[in-house]
Amino acid sequence: MSPRPALPHLVSGSTLETGFAAQAGRMAKAALHEIGPAGPGAEAAAMGFALALTASWNPPAIFWAGEEAAFSEEGAPYPVGLAQYGIDLSRLIVIRAKKREETLWAAEQGLAAPGAVVLCALGARGKALDLKASRRLLLFAERNRSRCLLLQPEAGPSAAWTRWRIASAESDGIDHELGAPAFRAELARSRAGPSGQTFLLDWNAHARALAERALAGDLSAATRDGSFEAVRARAGR
């Protein structure tokens, strides 16, 4: 699967399209996106969402540059599980950086590979990335037509094209089975189109596609146990 072609949204008027497919199409073009947990404990979901996007783009290389602290707090990448998740292991390079500067430097180096996806994962300790640093990542990505997914627990001022708040969503599986990985993804900000929507998404690792779950299921699930409100409340809105 090759990267989706950039949508000429100003011409076609596709900015009006607010479905997840349209949003993801815009993301495929733009270069820096911020993905954060909707609340404490949602870091694994945020990383899962970032990995799902990455796998769906099928890039020639995946650089996962993380702060050592982030690896010890949130667990180290696990190759067997990543392969099951749809990540092409032969294209994955993991960088365990000691310090934040090293992480950012490594991310910039990775972005030099045209078409690559760089997962830049910052730990909970330390401030959110500032505007200058995020702008650098954007520049590197734009110059080489690569993509950077910035993962950090707290949102800061950012040059990112989109900002996502990710929480886990309840399984869609029957009975007590755990179904496909599921996310509640809120598009908190978008420079390329409308924002503010929340998508309920299931990850199909086999097809490498994020699919929107039927809205009815979303509403019923959210109203049934109130988890939707809980998620929003944790996100501070």
Partner 1 sequence: MPALSQNARWLAIYLPRLATDRLKRSGRAPGDDRPLAIYAKQANAYQLTGVDKRASELGLHLAMSLADARAIQPKLEAVEAEPEEDARALDAIAAWCERFTPIVVIDPPEGLFLDITGCAHLFGGEDALRDMIVARLYAQGFGARAAVAPSPGAAWAFARYVRKPNADLEALAALPVEALRLDPQAAALLRRLGMKTIGQLKDAPRSAFTARAGERAMLRLDQAYGRAREALTPRRPPPPVFALRRFLEPIFTTDAILHVMQDLCADVVEKLDIRGAGARRLALVLFGVDGRDRVISVGVSRPEREVKALIRLFREKLNVVAENIDAEFGIEAARLDVVHLAPIAEAARELVVSEEGCATPEQISGIADILSVRLGAKRVLRPQVHELHAPERASGWRSALSETKDAQALKPPADGVQRRPIRLFSPAQPIEALATVPDGPPIRFRWRRVLREVARAEGPERIGGDWTEGDATRDYYRIEDREGRRYWLYREGLYGEADTPRWYVHGLFA
Site for partner 1 in 131-190 (CB under 8 A): 145-146, 167-171, 173, 176-178, 180-184
Query: Which of 13/177 has CB closer to partner 1?
Result: 177
* 165: nearest Cα among 42, 76, 79, 54: 42
How far is it, in rounded angstroms, from Cα 153 to Cα 94?
A: 20
Dihedral sign, CA of 96, 45, 123, 194? Answer: positive
Give CA–CA dist 67/145, Å, rounded: 24
Give the one residue of 24, 32, 47, 137 binding partner 1; rule: CB under 8 A.
47
How buried is 124 (Cβ within 10 angstroms: 0-12 exposed, 13-18 middle, 19+ buried)?
A: middle
Minimum Å gap between C-beta 203 and partner 1 is 7
**Which residue's CB is nearer to partner 1, number 20 or number 183?**
183
Question: Minimum CB separation from partner 1 for residue 17, in Å?
Answer: 25
Stretch that binds partner 1, among 15-23, 127-135, 147-155, 201-209 (CB under 8 A): 201-209
d(CA 108, CA 105): 5
Cβ 194 to partner 1 shortest distance, Å: 26
Query: Does residue 52 interact with partner 1 by CB under 8 A?
Result: yes
In three-state secondary structure terms, 18 is coil
Q: Which is nearer to partner 1, 82 or 129 (CB)?
A: 82
Q: Rounded CA gap, 198 and 49, in Å?
A: 14
Residue of the chain from 110, 123, 153, 193 that contacts partner 1 (CB under 8 A): 110
Interface segment toward partner 1; rule CB under 8 A; list 9-17, 20-28, 42-50, 131-139: 42-50
